[in-house]
Structures are given as C-alpha cells and as structure tokens.
Amino acid sequence: MRWLKFKLSMLVLLCALPVYGVVSIGLHGGSGLPMAIYPLMSVITFALYGHDKRQARTQGQRTPEKLLHAAEILGGWPGALVAQQVFRHKTRKVSYQSVFWLIVLVHELFWIDRVLLGGNFLSRHFF
C-alpha cells in the first residue's frame, strides 16, 4: 500500500475528534451506545466493501452504493476509509468519493460542534 504512514496518520487525525467525543459522553454518564456504534458500523461497512469488491470481480450481485453510504452515515465511515485502501475499491469513482467525503465532513462538523462548541451551533442554526 502506497503512502501507508501518511494514510494511517490521516485516519488517526480524522478519528481523533469522534473518539474524544464518544469517550467524553461515556465518561460524563451518557449512554455507552455511541461507543459501540462507530466500531460496530465500521466492521459492518468494511465487510460490505469486501463483499462488493468480490462481487465486482465475479460479476455477481453488487451492493448498492446507497447501502454503502447509509452504513457510512450511521458511523461506518472509518471502516469504509480503511476498506477503500485495503480492497482498492471505490477510490477512483469521483461521484462516490464526493458523497463519501461529504459524509466524513458532516461527522466531523457534528463533533466539532459537540466537543468544541458545546453543541450550541448546530442546534441553534439548524434545529
């Protein structure tokens, strides 16, 4: 895999804020559910990518992109990012990558609001 150290560094940076946010929720008496959702959805999303790549190679029934994106939205984007590199899948399709990175951006903005702004910005301007 090319640029492995750089890619791992970027993964760690992208995951830092969500991990911090999830842990802080758990430490402050919040539900442990968010602590389970990101890893669980990442494993599921990784498996969906692997299955889709196998199906692409064998001309089988493909996993709909809407399902892959839904899994990413539900917290599986870290698993998707790893799967894209491991399976070399969905990395060149610009329309797919645009939606994927928009999903990552939404997650990052949510955690920036939650952790750094006390959850005040998004709730005041969008809800």
Tell me the three-class secondary structure of the chain, residue by residue: CCCHHHHHHHHHHHHHHHHHHHHHHHHCCCCCHHHHHHHHHHHHHHHHHHHHHHHHHHCCCCCCHHHHHHHHHHHHHHHHHHHHHHCCCCCCCHHHHHHHHHHHHHHHHHHHHHHHCCCHHHHHHHC
Q: Is residue 63 part of a domain?
A: yes
Domain count of the fold of the chain: 1
Q: At what angle do helices 33-58 and 77-86 cross, to 10 degrees?
A: 30
Q: Is residue 27 part of a domain?
A: no
Q: Is residue 107 part of a domain?
A: yes
Residue 53 one-letter amino acid: K
CA-CA-CA-CA torsion sign (39, 91, 108, 65):
negative
In this model, does residue 4 exceed pLDDT 80? yes
pLDDT of residue 35: 79
Q: Is residue 1 part of a domain?
A: no
Q: How confident is the model at residue 70 (pLDDT cuts 50, 70, 90)?
A: very high
pLDDT of residue 127: 59
In this model, does residue 60 exceed pLDDT 90? yes
In this model, does residue 106 exceed pLDDT 80? yes
Residue 65 belongs to what domain range? 33-126
In this model, does residue 122 exceed pLDDT 80? no
Tokens of 105: 């951006």
pLDDT digits (tens, 9 = 90+) for 31-56: 778 778 999 999 999 999 999 999 99
Q: Is residue 74 part of a domain?
A: yes
* Region 79-96 average pLDDT: 95
Q: Is residue 10 part of a domain?
A: no
Share of the chain above pLDDT 70, in %: 96
Q: Is residue 100 part of a domain?
A: yes
Q: Is residue 19 part of a domain?
A: no
* Region 74-89 average pLDDT: 96
Residue 116: closest CA among 9, 15, 6, 24: 24
* Region 94-106 average pLDDT: 97
